[in-house]
Amino acid sequence: MIHRIALPLLALALALAAAAAAQSTPTPTPTPDETDRKLTAAQREVLSRVLAEEFCYCGCPHTVAGCLREHKECKHAARMASLAAHLAATGAPAAEVRRSLDEYYAGFDAAKRAKLDLASFGPPLGKPDARVAVVEFSDFTCPYCRALTPELDRFVREHEGRVRLYYKPYPIASHPRAVEAALAAEWARDRGVFWKMYDLLFERQGELADDDLAADAREVGGDPEDLLQALAAGRNRARIAASQAEARAAGLLGTPTLFFNGHRIQLPMAPQEAQAILAFVLEDEEEWAQRGGWARD
């Protein structure tokens, strides 16, 4: 099945793959209905080069371009081409696109997966028995984390029963009130109102003074005085520090960072593209988990 990220750019990727395989010099110009995110001539050239040089991850002896032309029963080449098209559209050079592709597919290997503590950071959003566990490391004061939050919520709701989301704190020391916001969230976790507090902290990102956090505690049904005592005592600092150490050991490069069953996802993910990227990764992860590897075409 071709997922949503493939629909606008896949036609372009297929055309470029055919051109590359035929060693054709000109590259086709996409029409408005081929892509809602027109690539520049330089980006089209990057995509063409990547598809002509990168081998398909299904394990066949073809480049992606060759696989699309000669191995038409392969469902993986089209998916890989669509991901390459997305990466090229960010303006990345060919070497960076290839590196991102290699890192993404290599990350499915069990040896590359991070072993993350989930038991101390529940309950998840979504059904606890869902096969794919997504872990979000983020900072309540990070604007990029805030922008991704509604997309993660929507992703879990739209894939009910397939995915469960865990939040793990990674407050950035240089961000004012980031640690206090993380402490408030962990207080809420201990009181059974974590996800309500999570929503409020991101919604009111600029309102993180002690009095603001106490008001949030009252709104989620907790005791504001207890929260203030937790802040003053630094309650759960050790849990937050353990989360940060775990994230660094797992290769976190910034916030937000997501892990799918321990597989770190470092793909460009603007909010307007998040649903397509998340669905792409989920579909790949489910195939890998079901078969213990990629289905051979």
pLDDT digits (tens, 9 = 90+) for 256-268: 999 999 999 988 8
pLDDT tier, 27 (very low <50, low <70, confident <90, very high otherwise) = very low
Q: Indicate whether 25 pLDDT > 90.
A: no
Residues in Cβ contact with 252 at an 8 Å cutoff, skipping those fewer than 6 apart: 137, 170, 264
pLDDT of residue 15: 54
CB distance 201 to 145 below 8 Å: no
Closest CA to 166 of 132, 211, 135: 135
Is there a contact between 198 and 156 (Cβ–Cβ < 8 Å)? no
Select the more confidently predicted residue: 260 or 274: 260
**Chain-centroid distance, C-alpha 275:** 9
Beta-bridge partners for 264: 259
State the pairing for strand pair 257-260/263-265: antiparallel
Average pLDDT, the chain: 88
Task: Return the residue matching tokens 């809420």.
Answer: 188
Q: Tell me what the mean pLDDT of segment 93-101 comes to.
A: 96
DSSP E strand stretches across the chain = 132-138, 163-169, 257-260, 263-265
* pLDDT > 50? residue 31: no
- Per-domain residue ranges of the chain: 6-106+275-291, 119-257
Domain 119-257 fold: Glutaredoxin (3.40.30)
The answer to which of 73-82, 146-155, 226-235 has the lowest mean pLDDT is 73-82
